[in-house]
Each structure stands twice: as C-alpha cells, then as structure tokens.
C-alpha cells in the first residue's frame, strides 16, 4: 500500500507527500531495528541469567561435595592421630581399635578436589563467555579454574608419593572386612608398634595428608568467594536458583 501511494505521489509530482512517504518508511525501518535490537537484548539478558543460575548450581554442588570431603579429611586425620599416638605409646586402647583399623586401611588417602564445572566449560567451548556482563566474575571464574588444576596436580603428586610410601604397610595387616567407610583389620599391634620403619611411615604420611587437607580448604574458600559474587548478581537481577541434580558432582 505504501509503495502504491508513493508511486502515485511521484506521478502527481506531489513532492510534499513523497517526502512524507519517505519519512514514514525511514521511521518504520528505524523502529523495526529498535524493536529487533530490544528483542535481541532481552534474549541475551535471558540467556545470561540462565547461565548465571547454572553457574550458581555448579558452585553450590561443588561446595556441597567439598564440605563432605572436608568431613572425610577430618575423620581420616583424627584416625591417623590415634594411630600415631597408639604407636608412640606402644598401647592400643580397646575403644580405639575400630578407628585404628579404619585409619590404617585409608592411611594417606584423600578424595580428589571437587569442582562441578560443566557450565563454564560450555561457555568456553561455545564462545559465549562474553555473554556474562560482569567481567570481575569472569576473571574470578578463570582464576578459580587455574587454581583448581594447579592444586589438583599438586595433590595428585602427593597422593602418588603417599601410595608409594605406604605400600610396605600392607604386609603388616590382613583386611577382614570393609563396609560404609569402616575397615576391620587383623594385625599384631605389638609387632608394628616396635617396627621403626612402620612408625616412620605413619608419621610421614600423617603430616603429608594434613597438608593435602589444607589445599582443600584453600579451594573451598575460593569457591565460596566466587559463589558469593554469583549470589549477589542473582539477587540484583532477581534470578531464581535451580535445583541441584541428584548425583551431580
């Protein structure tokens, strides 16, 4: 219809009407572009909020798993202290027998660092990192990833060394049963308490695993700081939390 009117006005040499037609077309194009840009902006904003919510879920899952591992570390460290104390005193109390057995079975073992990182990996692989407008958050996420892999490599090295150091200990006990993180071992306490090499290994491993636990705490605190930043953004933008996936780690 606009084209027919435009042709008519040109043929009639009605230049005022022609000018108005041109203005109408230009304004229409401009408004159309503005609406398109607005829609695209809303789409980008919605996508950013979706990724923010997913990052929050990943970090919350990481905190949950890390807190479990911290409790595990503490239980293992306490059992290792009982082993060391009993060996140093040359006496194993009846009440400490189960803890001693479990601690000896898991001596030097720690769970790996937890990091649920699927969303950040997706942002990188799809080239969508720029959709996150908060550049400080992006920097913090990148720093967390770098620190995670650095700590993981260090802990893996310590774990490998621990495995090598503790391997001679298996000759001193027989594993009767293991269930629900509880181990029952058969061993000659008098024999192992008088074995200097055995005691030195236990002492060495105890302090190494304590160092591993400290690395986990550094990781935990850094994740907590990044999570706090994400939660602040969610509060500002009124973004709802996503439920944690069952078995997500």
Is 135 a member of any domain?
yes
pLDDT, mean of residues 88-105: 95
Mark residue 25 as left, alpha or beta (left: phi above 0; alpha: psi -120 to 50; beta: remaining).
Answer: alpha
Mean pLDDT of the chain: 87
Supply the range of the domain harboring residue 158. Answer: 2-237
**249 domain-assigned:** no
Cα 116 from Cα 249, distance rounded (Å):
6
- Point out the least confidently predicted range of 2-11, 120-129, 149-158, 182-191: 2-11
CA distance linking residue 111 with residue 97, whole number of Å: 24
pTM: 0.79
How many domains does the structure of the chain reveal?
Answer: 1
Q: Is residue 243 part of a domain?
A: no
Report pLDDT digits (tens) over 171-194: 999 999 999 889 999 999 999 999
Q: What are 199-235's pLDDT values in tens digits?
A: 999 999 988 888 889 999 999 999 999 999 999 999 9
**What residues form DSSP beta bridges with 173?**
187
222: in domain? yes
Q: Cβ contacts of residue 124 below 8 Å, gap of 6+?
A: none
CA proximity to 90, closest of 173, 194, 172? 194
Would you place residue 27 in the very low, low, confident or very high pLDDT band (cuts 50, 70, 90)?
low
In a domain, 176, yes or no: yes
How many residues are present in the chain? 249
Residue 246 lies in a domain: no
Lowest mean pLDDT among 35-44, 74-83, 86-95: 35-44
| Strand positions, DSSP E, the chain | 173-179, 182-187
Report pLDDT for 248.
52
């Amino acid at each position: 219809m606009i084209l027919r009117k435009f042709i008519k006005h040109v043929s009639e040499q009605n230049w005022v009407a022609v000018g108005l037609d041109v203005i109408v077309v230009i304004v229409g194009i401009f408004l159309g572009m503005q609406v398109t840009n607005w829609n695209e902006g809303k789409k980008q904003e919605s996508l950013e909020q979706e990724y923010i919510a997913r990052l929050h879920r990943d970090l919350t899952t990481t905190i949950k798993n890390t807190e479990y591992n911290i409790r595990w570390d503490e239980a293992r460290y306490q059992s290792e202290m009982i082993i060391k104390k009993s060996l140093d005193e040359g006496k194993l109390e009846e009440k400490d027998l189960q803890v001693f057995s479990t601690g000896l079975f898991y001596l030097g073992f720690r769970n790996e660092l937890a990091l649920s990182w699927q969303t950040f990996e997706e942002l990188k692989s799809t080239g969508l990192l720029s959709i996150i407008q908060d550049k400080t958050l992006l920097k913090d996420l990148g720093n967390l990833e770098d620190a995670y892999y650095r700590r993981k490599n260090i802990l893996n090295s310590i774990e490998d060394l621990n495995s090598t150091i503790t391997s001679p200990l298996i000759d001193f006990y027989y594993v009767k049963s293991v269930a629900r993180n509880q181990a029952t071992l058969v061993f000659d306490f008098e024999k192992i308490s008088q074995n200097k090499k055995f005691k030195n290994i236990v002492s060495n491993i105890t302090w190494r695993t304590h160092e591993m636990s400290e690395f986990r705490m550094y990781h935990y605190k850094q994740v907590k700081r990044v999570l706090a930043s994400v939660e602040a953004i969610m509060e500002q933008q009124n973004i709802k939390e996503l439920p944690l996936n069952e078995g997500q780690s």
